Structure 1
Amino acid sequence: MRKFLVTGALGQIGTELVVRLREMYGDENVLPTDIRMPEAGPMVGKPFEILDVTDKDRVMEMVGSFQPDSIIHLAALLSATAEKNPALAWDVNMGGLFNTIEAARIYDAQYFTPSSIGSFGPSTPKENTPQDTTQRPTTMYGVNKVTGELLMDYYYTKFGVDTRSVRFPGLISYVQEPGGGTTDYAVEIYYDAIRKGEYTSFIDKGTYMDMMFMDDAIDAVIKLLHADPDRLTTRNAFNVSAMSIEPEMVAESIRKHIPDFKINYDVDPERQSIAETWPNSLDVSEAKKQWDFSPKYDLDKMTEVMLENVSEKLKQKTQ
């Protein structure tokens, strides 16, 4: 049976990916790790390990002990958080990446880590951004992601490590609330729609960014992990996205369910400036061609699911 080791498992992606992998492969074949133990949720009472990915010896010890077929490295500081503490972001994002990809090389494991639309910059084409194009980001997070993409190419070419990645857009989920991302408004807006009937966006109207519902993101990771390696000519990071949206579009979609919903604006200059360096829309044709990427959720379908589940989640918290 195939075995997976997941770092950063308590984050937005890991929380749902671990559940899905365990449904497919069993609890004993999926080892989630993070810098703290889970306090609630489906990982409590099941195999779980504390792991600081900047501790190279501990990374090697754990990978050597568990012997995973695949390492899924998710531990990282996100864009806005990284910009507040760039030195820590470098230590965590790059140190953790190097330690885990080295472990994949030494123990002959497949290696997946996500890149991001943050790997692009102001000189990147904004519309239908190509798979291969100029990448000159102006944030520490973006610099980390580009460096990671180059490192994955290097480890595949130099050492034959089976590296795989996607450039995630903003990810929208009701399961785990986000922490420190520039696209977080697209999750927060659903919570405030239920709580207050209005939302104050830190991103300005008319600011388009690519987004994807978390179910589609998890499907993409699993599909890419299982893709035929002979079909893959890209080894650093595939463009993936399901929709290109801006705050007014999300508000309008919400009004189909909550007619009186209002959106206000109090723009955060730092996160707005980051957003303006990112693409408006991505060309995902290579992901479709090489491993059959196929998202299922558009904005309205996602809104329906988000409002229903956020409402239920908030109701349970008050009981």
Structure 2
Amino acid sequence: FIFVYHILSLFEGGLGQLGVGLAQMLREQYGKENVILSDIKRPPADVFNMGPFVYADVLDYKNLRELVVNNRITWLVHYSALLSAVGEANVTLARTINITGLHNVLDLALENCLRLFVPSTIGAFGPSSPRDPAPDLCIQRPRTIYGVSKVHGELMGEYLHHKYGLDFRCLRYPGVISATTKPGGGTTDYAVQIFHDALGSGHHECYLRPQTRLPMMHISDCHRATIEFMQADECQLSLRTYNIAAISFTPEEVAAEIRKHVPQLTVTYKPDPVRQNIADSWPMRFDDSNARRDWGWKPAYGLPELVTDMLDRVQNKRTNAGLPVS
């Protein structure tokens, strides 16, 4: 979670790929004491020292309510979820966290008149959806529990907005690429791991076929889109759930771009049936024209800029950790 108060926000699931960076950006705008990061894990020392952190379990409604009431929370960012490949390995746990946890958050937001942001995903689409590009409104019918839970969240949020006026906002994220955290079990995570492998062993074994095209985004674009969307005036929004897009590439395309900087990189392909089937059911590109029109969304990173930045960040990270850099 991320909690925001006056504006005070609570981030739950805040130690994942997205939470820490978004909390930092919000703290720069609203003051570090006005943004509370939370998770069920012990935070690293640097994250703990960055600003307020609390333990929060998305399945513990009483504790969440106490946090919201005692801290006078006004915004809630809900990042707690099991991702696609991990969710398929443990459907029962994914259903509990992704759906039961979501209902706790929805009830909490309604009860306390919170502004609620819940991310959705490329995984909310399925094999019968338009793939190139996928529009905001179309047949979805995903085939993973992760995707099913996200469609459920989109529709529940929209329903509660129309019935009770809940300020629910949702962005469908593409694959998000970041150097700050380890891959977390998503189908697009090869696009993070390949940078670590390029500067480490010099070899990457990819679990997708080389021509598998998926929409991707640099994490700073993802954070900026989230904040701009959260701050957008209600009157600007024609939807409660929007696609956001930046770039779309295949494993062989990103490998070719990396080789402009690390010529010795080699890549072999060993498609994993579970992840490949998931990727084949997802859009190749997002149509985000509504986000661009309604609240002015525009990405800053293309593929060359993303690759240059990721290599710099991963190299610095490896150097600081005393790891060799190829």
Relative to the length of structure 2, the TM-score reads: 0.95
Could you tell me which residue of structure 1 aligns to residue 3 of structure 2? none
Q: Secondary structure at the match of 1:238?
A: strand
Distance 2:145 2:131 in 1: 20
Could you tell me which residue of structure 1 aligns to residue 88 of structure 2? 83
Could you tell me which residue of structure 2 aligns to residue 129 of structure 1? 134
Distance 1:140 1:73 in 2: 18
Alpha-carbon deviations, 1:282-318, whole Å to 9, x = none?
1010010111111100011000000011011011111
Question: Letter of the aligned partner of 1:308 in structure 2?
Answer: D
> Is the CA contact (8 Å cut-off) linking 2:124 and 2:147 kept in structure 1?
yes
Superposed displacement of residue 238, structure 1 = 0.6
Alpha-carbon deviations, 1:57-105, whole Å to 9, x = none?
1111111111222100001111111110011001001111111111111
Could you tell me which residue of structure 2 aligns to residue 14 of structure 1? 19
Aligned length: 318
> Is the CA contact (8 Å cut-off) linking 2:35 and 2:51 kept in structure 1?
no
Question: Letter of the aligned partner of 1:135 in structure 2?
Answer: Q
Superposed displacement of residue 40, structure 1 = 3.1
Could you tell me which residue of structure 1 aligns to residue 212 of structure 2? 207
Residue segments in structure 2 that go unaligned for 5+ positions in a row: 1-5
Aligned residues with identical type, % of pairs: 41
Superposed displacement of residue 178, structure 1 = 2.1
Superposed displacement of residue 175, structure 1 = 1.0
Return the match for 1:243 from 243, 247, 267. Answer: 247
Distance 2:101 2:183 in 1: 20
Could you tell me which residue of structure 1 aligns to residue 303 of structure 2? 299
Distance 2:195 2:21 in 1: 19
Residue 29 (str. 1) matches residue 37 (str. 2)? no
Superposed displacement of residue 45, structure 1 = 6.2
Distance 1:118 1:247 in 2: 18
Superposed displacement of residue 227, structure 1 = 0.3
Distance 2:143 2:47 in 1: 38
Question: Letter of the aligned partner of 2:224 in structure 1?
Answer: D
Distance 2:50 2:264 in 1: 43
Distance 1:275 1:145 in 2: 16
Question: Letter of the aligned partner of 1:18 in structure 2?
Answer: A
Q: Secondary structure at the match of 1:192?
A: helix
Q: Secondary structure at the match of 2:316?
A: helix
Could you tell me which residue of structure 2 aligns to residue 317 of structure 1? 321
Superposed displacement of residue 46, structure 1 = 3.1
Residue 282 (str. 1) matches residue 289 (str. 2)? no
Structure 1 runs (4+) deviating above 6 angstroms are none
Distance 2:275 2:49 in 1: 34
Return the match for 1:148 from 145, 150, 153. Answer: 153
Could you tell me which residue of structure 2 aligns to residue 113 of structure 1? 118
Superposed displacement of residue 39, structure 1 = 2.1
When the two chains are superposed, the root-mean-square deviation of aligned CA atoms in Å is 1.1
Residue 196 (str. 1) matches residue 217 (str. 2)? no
Distance 2:284 2:313 in 1: 28
Question: Letter of the aligned partner of 1:47 in structure 2?
Answer: P
Distance 1:21 1:42 in 2: 14
The residue correspondences of 1:21-60 to structure 2 (distance < 5 A) are 21-44=26-49, 46-60=51-65
Relative to the length of structure 1, the TM-score reads: 0.98
Residue segments in structure 1 that go unaligned for 5+ positions in a row: none
